Amino acid sequence: MGLKKKQIGLMFLILLSLIIYTCCMTANNAETLSNEDFIRFHVVANSDSEADQQLKHMVREGLLRRINEGLAAEAVAMADSNRSKVILNIDRTKEFIEKNLTELEYEARKILSREGCCYPVKAELAVAWIPQKTYGNITFPAGNYNALTVTIGEGRGENWWCVLFPPLCLIGQTPEDQAELEELYKEVFMNEKYKELLAESDKPKTLKLKFKVLELLDQ
């Protein structure tokens, strides 16, 4: 009888330890970034010629401006209809991109046309495998991420990568734009998960990300 009580006590202690461990892991994971917390932005040039690379940069700048203006306008429209302030998050950003892929293609073709070029353009939002990339002082590990990919012409040239969400691509605009950006993405800038990522720092940092379901989709 005494041995049975000891066994029950031991089992209870193990169960209690498992519950405490699970709660701690859940709390820690809530603040851990994963590949699903980002939307990357990828522009692929037609070729490596100097002219095509310049066109790539023009398309990049034009689309970043179009996306930023579109998200701001949509946030204002939603705020007016809901009579409440709208803060941009990853789901709203992804939804905006998905709804405006055709518009983004048109904007890119318009930029190319102004330069006397008629390359086709393809824009898609999908899971893409991305090699290790460094932006400023932050290094992102290789892996699968949600990415807006814009391919110009044959897409055989050197490509350009950035992070669209959180808005690392957009940081560094004019002070007026920066103030508007921080207001729209207030939830992101204040989120503990992103706070260190968005803070100014001279110290290089390599992110340690959890890779979730997106990793399986590619397989």
CB 148 within 8 A of CB 125: yes
**pLDDT level of residue 79 (50, 70, 90 thresholds):** low
H helix intervals, the chain: 2-30, 50-82, 90-99, 101-114, 175-184, 186-190, 192-198, 214-218
pLDDT of residue 26: 35
pLDDT of residue 212: 77
**pLDDT level of residue 172 (50, 70, 90 thresholds):** low
Q: Quote the CA–CA distance of 32 and 17 in Å, as a whole number.
A: 22
pLDDT digits (tens, 9 = 90+) for 23-48: 443 333 346 889 999 999 999 999 99
Residue 185 has pLDDT above 80, yes or no: no
Which range among 62-66, 104-108, 133-137 has the greatest average pLDDT?
Answer: 104-108
The ranges assigned to domains in the chain are 34-170+184-191+207-214
